[in-house]
Amino acid sequence: MRILALVPGGIGDQLLFFPTLETLQQSFPTAAIDVVVEPRALAAYRLCPVTATPRPFDFKARNSLADWANLLGTLREQEYAIALSLGRNANIGLFLWLAGIPQRVGYGDSLFLTDRVPYNGHQYAAHAYHDLVKGLRLKTPPPKMRIAVAKTDLDWANRERMALGITGGYIALHAGASLLSQIKGIDKIYPATQWAEVLKGLQEKAPELPILLLKGPEDGAIAAALAATVPTLKTLSPPDTGKLAALIAGSNLFLCTDSAPMHIGVAVEANLLALFGATDPAKLLPPQPNFKFVQAPAGQPLAALSPNTILAQLWD
């Protein structure tokens, strides 16, 4: 038996879909599970806690009919018994029907879906995604989002921290945002000068904890600005999501914006504080005491958040 999931979106969306994959594996233990994902999100599957094979397809590209036909042919060859679609495009049901998949579960009211699930976007996104299993008549409550961090990644993180002189606890900071969000002008970057004020306040309160900047491949500008402003800041550039997760998991406190690293922090149950702009935090953070957030005033950018407001939430 083979199960297919179509999961467009970035790394964060894949992580939020992991609880659904976990329920599928538990409910169909002998099934092979394939997930069609955008190339930019493949890195998430280094952390997947279940056995699922990612298949790349760029949903957001200007795909030709030949591109869709090639994907359709590939899916037909696999003879899937069940398909779940996270996308809400009305044509997805037709596409899955053309792929010859007998049970087709998705949101919306497409006539080509065999099982339709209403999308409840007012809840935590991982739970909204997990609602898809109701189309399979499964009543399993959504498990917590979790990831699998390899021992080799944990060992790498320990070696790199030791090389920087971090032998005990530390505060981790991820101040960047994905390239796509930057290109789209989505407000997910908190100014370096204001981060510096937050870090100064943390150092005064907890001088025994060094601060480690986790620099992604798209974070060069803000990393350079922070390094110039906070001379005591230590920096590491984890080369993949596994090593990033290991560094977040080992921290005493993780600071971030609404981003894929935030979801990794949730999955490893870090003590985290996330900065939010216009996005509703209730949709992206589960209600746990160790997950805190500060949100910019309505209609204002992240820069409108004062460092004192952020520090006050930390000490609350």
Residue 62, pLDDT score: 79
> Which CATH code, of 3.30.1330.10, 3.40.50.360, 2.40.10.340, 3.40.50.2000, is assigned to 2-136?
3.40.50.2000
Buried/exposed 263-277: b ≥16 CB within 10 Å, e otherwise:
bbbbbbebebbbbbb
Same topology for domains 2-136 and 151-315, yes or no?
A: yes
Q: What is the pLDDT of residue 248?
A: 98
Distance CA 267, CA 165 (A): 27
Higher pLDDT, 87 or 148: 148
CA atoms within 13 Å, Cβ hemisphere of 298 = 0
Domain boundaries, the chain: 2-136, 151-315
Mean pLDDT value of segment 67-91: 91
Residue-wise pLDDT tens digits, 235-268: 999 999 999 999 999 999 999 999 999 999 999 9
User: What pTM did the predictor assign?
Assistant: 0.93
Q: What's the pLDDT score for residue 117?
A: 95
Read off the pLDDT of each residue in 93-100 and give the average, rounded to a whole number.
93
- At 62 the three-state DSSP class reads coil
Residue 256 pairs in a beta bridge with 174, 274
Average confidence (pLDDT) over 277-301: 92
Task: Assign domain 151-315 to a CATH class.
Answer: alpha beta
**Contact criterion met (CB below 8 Å) for 48 and 148:** yes
pLDDT of residue 89: 82
| pLDDT, tens only, 122-164 | 999 999 999 999 999 999 999 999 999 999 999 999 999 999 9
When pLDDT is cut at 50, 70 and 90, the band that residue 116 belongs to is very high
Q: What is the mean pLDDT of residues 89-118?
A: 92
Chain-centre distance for alpha carbon 302 = 20
Percent with pLDDT over 70 in the chain: 97
- CA dist 138 and 11 (Å) reads 26
**196-243 pLDDT tens trace:** 999 999 999 999 999 999 998 888 888 899 988 898 999 999 999 999
Q: Which of 27-36, 62-71, 299-308 has the lowest mean pLDDT?
A: 62-71
More confident residue, 172 or 110: 172
Helix spans in the chain (H)? 11-27, 65-78, 92-98, 125-130, 151-163, 179-183, 192-205, 220-229, 241-249, 260-267, 307-315
